[in-house]
Copies of this chain bind each other. A is one copy, B any other.
Amino acid sequence: LNIVPSPVQFEYLVRVQPHHTDYAGVVWHGSYLRWMEEARIDALRVVGIEFADLVAIGCDLPVVELSLNYRKPLQMGNVAIVRSCLLHKEKVRWIWSQNIESKEGNTLCVEGKVVLAAVNRQQNRVLRTLPPSLQLACDRFLGLTDTIP
């Protein structure tokens, strides 16, 4: 019997605000990047990483790749669900899936994929290995250990 660990899926809710929209009356295509960032920060918190603390100790997790597929625009008044899931890890690179749905109708609106890389802030260099706290966070994201710290 093999139990394959599966990555944890996180949900983050956002209500569409006037400042998210543009002249077309729907969410401006760049606003989704804010939501996706917020959702990742929130997921980190769940597994025990306060992002501001990470930065304070000299580590950062910048976005190094990003791809988005816009399927259906969200509108003012909609509530969006950002579903985030760490798909896998390649050395210090984290590959996330982040899909955005409309809560009304559970429609898939944006398909997103984001790659983060752990860097040393002072040297502005990609780290060779993850610091232990991030390695543990990663294991929690991937379902390799208990999620809640």
Contacts and interface: CB of A to CB of B under 8 A. Distances in A.
A28 interface: yes
Contact of A68 (B21, B51, B65): B65
Q: How many residues of A sit at the interface, in one of the four size bands? A: 35 or more
Contact of A73 (B15, B21, B51, B62): B62
Interface stretch (A31-39, A81-89, A92-100, A135-143): A31-39
A40 to B, nearest CB: 10
A24 B60 CA distance: 8
Interface of A: 15, 17-19, 21-26, 28-30, 33-34, 37-38, 41, 50-53, 55, 60, 62-70, 73, 75-77, 121, 124
